[in-house]
Every structure is written in C-alpha cells, then in structure tokens.
Amino acid sequence: MAVRSATINVMAGAALKAARGLIRDFGEVEQLQVSVKGPADFVSTADLKAERILRQELGRARPGYGFLMEESGETAGTDARHRWIVDPLDGTKNFLHGIPHWCISIALERDGEIVAGIIYEPTRDEMYWAERGAGAYLNERRLRVSARRGLADALIGTGIPFRERGDHKVYLSTLAAVMGATAGVRRPGSAALDLAYVAAGRYDGYWEYGLSAWDIAAGILLVREAGGYVSDLSGGHEMLATGDVLAANDHLHLPLAALIRDAARHPAGG
C-alpha cells in the first residue's frame, strides 16, 4: 500500500476539490463562457475558477509558499524556499471541445528543485503522484517507465505547434524522423499527461518544444521517480527555463535525443 505524505495529501485534496467544478462544467461544455486569451489560446470560466480553488486550498495549507500559476502568473510568498507551480487545466482545448483528455497539474518547488508533484485526470479518476526519492504512483500502484530497448518498437508522444507558435519547419522535420524510426507517434493534447504516460509506461518516450513550467514541472518528477530520464532537447536540464523537453527510459533516451537533434539541425527545405 502506497503511503502518501502530508504534502501529497494537501496537493491531492486541492486537485480533487478543483476537479469537482471542472467535471460539472465539462458536462455542460457548450454553455461555457469562453474568452480569447491569445491566438488559438482559449481560457474558460472553468479554468479560472479551478485556479482560484487551487490557490485557496494550497494557500490555506501552506500559507507562506509562493505561486507560479498559468492564469495569474507569479506571486512571491513569505517563504522564499517554496513555490507551487500550478496548471489548473492542462488540455484546455480538449476540454472546450468535449474531449475527455485533460488534467490538473501541481508541483512543489523547494530551493529551485521539484520535490513533489501530482497530475490528476478527473474523467478517469487517475491520480499520478510522486515525491523526490519516494517513487511515482498511479493511485496506489507503483509506476515504472517501459522496458523497451529499441526505437522500432517504441510509441512516442509529442505536442504539435499551431498557428504562429514554434518553428513549424523544424518540428515537421523531427516528426518525420521519429515517424520513420518508431512504432508510432501520438499527440493527445496535454503535455502533463504525456509525461505521466511516460512514467506509467504507456508511452516509451515524449518530446515537445516551447512549453511553460506549469505544463511540465510535475511530470518531470514523475518520470524521474519512475526510473526514466528527462532533459531538454540539447541534453541539458533547463527544461523549466527553455520549455523544451525530452523524456524516455534509459535505453531510448539517448537514441531518441540524437534522432531529434539531427533532424532539427537539418530540416526539410532548410
């Protein structure tokens, strides 16, 4: 039986409370009021409401901690060592189109290091959670990354840039390379869940460019605690700063990284 710490219980409790409102709104997705936040980037009333609940619950349990949140940005706390990194609704476009693939992501940062994380997928009631040095779990089940050794057998997740975001030529070159070398590529639309799926062994690897810290902070810890490797696309460890991420098991990380870097250096038509 997995034993959750007080910190994980605080995070999970906040996520469950916020999820109740999201599930209600998801059931009435056509009636939601939606405002345009930017090109092809939508935020719903549900998103904002969930963030308010998460801030309230986490702030009540740990009143001195700071926040980095998708909608309201960064708020310094009286405790300079600790910060919550929160995405109240990762997969907003899926949510707004009635696609049941979205989640809440919460990470706790201590002295610049992610020490705890949860990713909760309400429509499946799947709670992924991890603490540094204590392993990664899906509900009560211990997680391990997949054991596949060859790219030819690997299923890889990704995120696709849209409209004016990202370098489409470079991304299409990397996609073509990965498609040609693996058993398949999936793009469901939630970076947090993509990383959780790597931790659970559902995906053998995952890469994406240009993400925000709240998209990936909890997922990075999940993959590492499940025995996987996470880096940025240059092989460094500045994922939260660069927004570029590559995750896989120890057999696939290096060959997948080499494949993607080579394709990015020589984009088609470049």
79-90 and 73-75 strand pairing: unpaired
CATH no. of 151-265: 3.40.190.80
Asked if residue 38 has pLDDT above 70, the reply is no
From the CB of residue 38, how many other CB atoms can be counted at a distance below 10 Å? 9
Contact 207, 246 (CB under 8 A): yes
| Predicted local distance difference test score (pLDDT) of residue 1 | 67
CA distance 57 to 51: 10
247 forms bridges with which residues in the sheet? 206, 230
Domain extents for the chain? 6-142, 151-265
| Predicted local distance difference test score (pLDDT) of residue 172 | 93
Please tell me the pTM assigned to this model. Answer: 0.93
From the CB of residue 187, how many other CB atoms can be counted at a distance below 10 Å? 12
pLDDT tens by residue, 97-123? 889 999 999 999 999 999 999 999 999
In percent, the amount of the chain with pLDDT more than 70 equals 93
Q: Give the alpha-carbon dihedral of 89, 94, 100, 103, to 10 degrees.
A: -20
CATH architecture of 6-142: 2-Layer Sandwich (3.30)
Mean pLDDT value of segment 8-25: 96
Buried b / exposed e along 223-237 (16+ C-beta atoms within 10 A): bbbbbbbbbbbeeee
